[in-house]
């Protein structure tokens, strides 16, 4: 990158809560926030929003008649977008851009309307406009009253960090100086989890930690789905109110042998990390927040890629999926939030069931990884504001 970009606010909604203070407190608890939910044909571990946060989202849906028929993926995004721009003190006249992505989109509504069609042979009038992927960013633009460009997209589980890439590209192009980027996922439906179970990646263990992300000794896959949204305010240059600075971004796609596979040494991650690192020295990186979905091959290939890139200079490694589940599109941005919190509090978050690592003396630079089906890897390097 030829210049730096500031993260002036970040807001999120997940199983850990919805405020910076609450989320950080929950990161410091050596426990997970997963629970077992009963579906029609099975039980499954999931990471759900807190009841109090769900009530706030429902309150938002009742605030405007037009919002009552929106999918939770849109409502979650609206909720966090309002908080983010308020914290960043953005105004509608700023005409900032919006790019909110989702891997699954309006999952619940789509399934509901499809079931109605199967039963009646007819479709609801609003089924199409409320289930298109583009309606997430469009509704946020409507709610925030901005005239900037609106983009929605899906690049599987790396969607959120791809949104950040897009925002960075727009700012660096000079077409805008502010961009709201994010991801939203409300996919805890029986059909979605059944899809993950069909891939043989879903957790079914009953021990203290259902998701064993980063545990190299696990003998079976332990992925657990979560729900939530996160948005980030990006601004050109080093702003006074910056939470952190984006120093580098990287991306890569690898040719796959199977629809869900990734190469043994995650070639895509090697390329994306090297691109994001740029001219930084390897020992300048204090920590990596890994994608680490809790699957055997997914965790192992990313670890192999890190070893290939960093060699003996391996930074502190962590992940949050054992605690709040895999939130598809939102996951990369929740990892970014963890990186920011570690920089602000100068404290790393350990994964309790793996061998304890040596902690860095200072946390100034953190690398964040995300990858999705199709081998679409993204890496983002952030640093502490000078």
Strands (DSSP E) contained in the chain are 5-13, 35-38, 43-47, 97-101, 150-151, 178-185, 225-226, 228-236, 244-253, 287-289, 316-318, 365-372, 376-383
pLDDT at position 259 is 52
Please state the pTM of the whole predicted model: 0.97
Look at residue 207 and tell me whether its pLDDT is greater than 90: no
pLDDT number for residue 374: 72
Three-state DSSP class for 89?
coil
User: 170 is written with which tokens?
Assistant: 């727009």
User: What are the structural domain ranges in the chain?
Assistant: 5-236, 246-383
State mean pLDDT over 93-108. 94
State which fold the 246-383 domain adopts: Peroxisomal Thiolase; Chain A, domain 1 (3.40.47)
Please tell me whether residue 237 adopts helix, strand or coil conformation: strand
pLDDT tens sequence across 36-90 = 999 999 999 999 999 999 999 999 999 999 999 999 999 999 999 999 999 999 9
DSSP 8-state symbol, 17: B
Residues near 252 by beta carbon (within 8 Å), at least 6 away in sequence: 267, 268, 269, 270, 271, 272, 275, 377
Q: Is the pLDDT of residue 272 over 80?
A: yes
- 262 has a pLDDT exceeding 80: no
What b-and-e string marks burial along 183-198, b requiring 16 or more CB atoms within 10 Å of the CB? bbbbbbbeebbeebbe
Distance of alpha carbon 290 from alpha carbon 331, whole angstroms:
10
- Please name the residue that has the structure tokens 């332990």: 222
Token pair 């929950």 is found at 26
**In the prediction, which pLDDT does 309 show?**
98
pLDDT (tens digit, 9 = 90+) per residue, 125-168?
999 999 998 899 999 999 999 988 999 999 999 999 999 999 99
Query: 330: which DSSP letter?
Result: G
Position 260 scores a pLDDT of 52
Domains 5-236 and 246-383 belong to one CATH topology: yes
For residue 211, the SS3 value is coil
Residue 333's pLDDT is 98
- For range 188-207, the mean pLDDT: 95
Q: What whole-number distance in Å separates Cα of residue 95 and Cα of residue 176?
A: 8
Paired with 253 in beta bridges are 376
Strand partners, 7: 234
Distance of CA 250 to CAs 80, 192, 383, Å? 26, 30, 15
Q: How confident is the model at residue 30 (pLDDT cuts 50, 70, 90)?
A: very high
Distance CA 172, CA 185 (A): 28
DSSP state of 204: -
Give me the long-range contacts of 341-349 (CB less than 8 A, separation at least 24): 341/20, 341/23, 341/24, 341/27, 342/287, 342/366, 343/244, 343/382, 343/383, 343/384, 344/243, 345/24, 348/287, 348/316, 348/318, 349/27, 349/28, 349/318, 349/320
pLDDT level of residue 261 (50, 70, 90 thresholds): low
pLDDT of 373: 78
7 — pLDDT class (breaks 50, 70, 90): very high
140 contacts 148 by C-beta, under 8 angstroms: no
pLDDT tens string 339-354 = 999 999 999 999 999 9
The pLDDT of residue 133 is: 85
Percent of the chain whose predicted confidence (pLDDT) is above 70: 98
Span 5-236 CATH architecture:
3-Layer(aba) Sandwich (3.40)
Query: Mean pLDDT of all residues in the chain?
Result: 95
Q: In whole angstroms, how large is the CA radius of gyration of the chain?
A: 20
Using pLDDT thresholds of 50, 70 and 90, give the confidence band for residue 258: low
């Amino acid at each position: 990158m030829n210049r730096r970009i500031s993260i002036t606010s970040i807001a999120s909604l997940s199983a850990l809560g919805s405020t910076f203070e609450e989320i950080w407190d929950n990161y410091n608890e050596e426990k997970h926030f997963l629970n077992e939910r009963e579906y029609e044909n099975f039980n499954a571990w999931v990471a759900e929003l807190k009841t109090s946060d769900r009530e706030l989202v429902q309150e938002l849906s009742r605030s405007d008649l037009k919002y009552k028929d929106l999918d939770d993926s849109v409502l979650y995004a609206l909720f966090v977008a309002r908080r983010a721009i308020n914290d960043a003190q953005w105004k509608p006249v700023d005409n900032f851009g919006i790019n909110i992505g989702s891997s699954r989109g309006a999952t619940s509504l789509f399934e509901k309307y499809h079931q109605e069609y199967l039963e009646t042979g007819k479709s609801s009038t609003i089924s199409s406009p409320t289930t298109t992927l583009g309606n997430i960013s469009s509704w946020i633009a409507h709610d925030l009253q901005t005239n900037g460009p609106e983009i929605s997209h899906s690049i599987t589980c790396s969607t959120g960090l791809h949104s950040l890439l897009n925002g960075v590209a727009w700012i660096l192009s000079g077409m805008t100086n502010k961009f709201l980027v994010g991801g939203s996922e409300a996919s805890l439906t029986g059909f979605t989890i059944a899809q993950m179970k069909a891939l043989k990646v879903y957790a079914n263990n009953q021990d203290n930690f259902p998701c064993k992300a980063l545990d190299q000794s696990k003998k079976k896959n332990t992925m657990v789905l979560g729900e939530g949204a996160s948005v980030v305010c990006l601004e050109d240059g080093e702003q006074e109110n910056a939470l952190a600075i984006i120093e580098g971004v990287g991306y890569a796609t690898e040719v796959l042998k199977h629809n869900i596979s990734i190469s043994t040494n995650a070639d895509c991650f090697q390329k994306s990390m090297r691109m994001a690192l740029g001219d930084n020295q390897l020992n300048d990186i204090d920590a990596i927040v890994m994608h680490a979905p809790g699957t055997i091959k997914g965790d192992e290939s990313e670890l192999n890629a890190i070893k290939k890139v960093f060699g003996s200079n391996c930074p502190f490694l962590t992940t949050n999926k054992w605690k709040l589940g895999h939130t598809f599109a939102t996951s990369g941005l929740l990892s970014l939030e963890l990186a920011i919190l570690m920089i602000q509090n100068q404290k790393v978050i350990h994964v309790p069931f793996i061998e304890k690592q040596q902690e860095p003396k200072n946390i100034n630079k953190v690398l964040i990884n995300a990858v999705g089906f199709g081998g679409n890897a993204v890496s983002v390097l952030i640093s502490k504001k000078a």
